[in-house]
Amino acid sequence: MKLYTTLLPPLWTTIAVAVATLATNWIWASWFLKAKGTGLAVLLIYSIFGWPLMLAVIYLALGYSLRLCEGLSWLRMAIVLAAIGAGWAVYGMPGPWNLLLCIALTIPVALQSRRTAQDDADLEHL
């Protein structure tokens, strides 16, 4: 799965993954708050496959929309801030576990995308 490392530059990849993780966590947390009894058990089982799938879909949607704005950093930042603002307006302030999970997913992606970009730059230099 190297698509996430070549879709956007390293900084924008990191930002897109962080925002996608935050949005996915907001959506799943709202579903878990509403579920009770058997519905909660079904949601727990479904989240094993549904959470990563939703994360990938949100990331790809955000990533391709940011890619279309190549060269317009202010428009990219406006899209990112609009996504965060909409989530904040609908779901409220993210909790500490939500932020911790965002950090845990974003750091490895940031390191990998930076490493891939550096490898590509080194190959072009040769």
How far is the C-alpha of 26 from the C-alpha of 53, rounded, in Å? 15
What angle is formed at CA 34 by the lines to CA 29 and CA 36, rounded to 5 degrees?
Answer: 115
In the chain, pLDDT over 70 holds for what percent of residues? 94
Whole-number pLDDT of residue 1: 47
Q: How confident is the model at residue 105 (pLDDT cuts 50, 70, 90)?
A: confident
- Tell which wins on pLDDT, 124 or 60: 60
> Which of 9-13, 56-60, 117-121 is least confident?
117-121
What does the domain layout of the chain look like in residue ranges? Answer: 7-121
- Using pLDDT thresholds of 50, 70 and 90, give the confidence band for residue 5: low
Among 91, 109, 95, 85, which residue's Cα sits nearest to residue 18?
109
Give residue-wise pLDDT tens across range 48-92.
Answer: 899 999 999 999 999 889 888 888 888 888 888 888 888 888 887
